[in-house]
Homo-oligomer: A and B are copies of this chain.
Amino acid sequence: MNKPEIPTLDDVAKEARVSTATVSRCLNSPDQVSTKTRDKVLKVVKDLGYTPNFGAQALAAKRTNTFGAIVPTMNNAIFAAGLQAFQEELGHNGATLLLASSSYNSQAEEEQIRSLVSRGADGLLLIGTQRSDQIYSFLDDRQIPFVIAWSYEENKRRSCVGFDNLKASYELTLRAISLGHKKFAIISAPTHSNDRAKNRVMGIHKALKDNGINFQNVQSIECEYSIGNGFESFKTLMQVADRPTIVMCGNDVLAAGAVKMAHEMGLKIPDDISITGFDDIELASVIEPALTTVHVRHKKMGMLAAQVLLKQVDDKSYRENIKLDTWIVEGKSLAKPRSFL
């Protein structure tokens, strides 16, 4: 009962009576080996249950086949579907995912980027564009391939797979305006370090401006995405003399909280107040009334991000900017304001 030894390339080589080089080739570039020896070697590999040692492989080949992703949060479902698709696409290509979450803290994100890189990540998935020049040049210096998701930017130097947050938000706002809304309020994620949130707010402002509605005195609350925060923020926004007729939320989670508070306050949605979301996560369809929100193609985004990233590993100079379309999902939470009836 001696402790189980994990077989190495050497063991396989000896057993198969070939050199380690041949075994290595059988595994990594099978066509350079004669069918006969290959079959022989692969049988031994199987018999011994050989699996390559990761560290040694990484050291010698200078690649790990692992990719890092840093998401702002795993606490709600915003990134879940995209991440799952990303992971699956990596899996199809024999790669695995290293995951970290930054809790929307850019300091933490930087540390995690460095950590994942030093852990040998072949490439990274990052959310949004907003981070220090320092960390971008760290990545550039080390030639670490990375893809930015959830945001879109025209940028020859970086790859991104995302969508136009500003435009999507602009269009949703236009819809509200066309229904007769004039008094807006906003619940958003903190905009200073979150370009998606910033663009979503800017989209609203732009639409208002373009339609001659003063956006300077639109009440706006910034808070992290959580149902509880949406809940509280909505209450605050309603405690004013001249109530808004619509509260636009930076994402569905906030909107869900807002809806809940509206119920508690006895406000009818959408008669007394309209509420909109963003992201179209499953949550949006279950709450009552279903949210009018913006559909984002999360799965497609995750899958494409993985594909772009894999291409960049093969060709370090490869860059691609992909803009996915979004569309408004009609729920029951947005309608004409009562004053307009």
Write the residues of chain A forming the contact surface with B, with a CB cutoff of 8 angstroms: 3-4, 6, 51-60, 62, 64-66, 73-77, 80-81, 83-84, 87-88, 91, 96-101, 114-120, 141-143, 226-227, 253, 256-257, 259-260, 263, 282-283, 285-288
A286 touches B285 (CB 8 A): no
Assess A75 versus B66: contact at CB under 8 Å? Given A59-B55, A59-B56, A120-B54. Answer: no
**Which one of B142, B263, B282, B283 contacts A288 once the chains associate, using CB atoms below 8 Å?**
B263
Closest 7 CB pairs of A and B: A55-B58, A55-B59, A54-B120, A51-B118, A74-B84, A99-B99, A288-B288
Assess A283 versus B283: contact at CB under 8 Å? Given A75-B80, A84-B75. Answer: yes
Query: Smallest distance from the beta carbon of A328 to chain B beta carbons, Å?
Result: 20
Query: Smallest distance from the beta carbon of A122 to chain B beta carbons, Å?
Result: 11
Chain B neighbourhood of A96, CB < 8 A: 98, 100, 115-116, 119
A76 touches B80 (CB 8 A): yes
B55 touches A55 (CB 8 A): yes
**Which one of B55, B84, B100 contacts A73 once the chains associate, using CB atoms below 8 Å?**
B84
A76 touches B116 (CB 8 A): no
Assess A282 versus B80: contact at CB under 8 Å? Given A64-B55, A99-B87, A100-B91. Answer: no
Query: Smallest distance from the beta carbon of A120 to chain B beta carbons, Å?
Result: 4
29 A-B pairs with CB atoms under 8 Å apart are A3-B143, A4-B141, A4-B142, A4-B143, A6-B142, A53-B59, A54-B58, A55-B56, A55-B57, A55-B120, A56-B59, A58-B58, A64-B119, A66-B98, A77-B77, A77-B80, A80-B80, A84-B101, A96-B115, A97-B98, A97-B99, A98-B98, A226-B282, A227-B286, A253-B282, A260-B285, A283-B283, A286-B286, A288-B288
Assess A118 versus B74: contact at CB under 8 Å? Given A87-B101, A256-B286. Answer: no
Chain B neighbourhood of A88, CB < 8 A: 101
**Which one of B54, B117, B226 contacts A118 once the chains associate, using CB atoms below 8 Å?**
B54
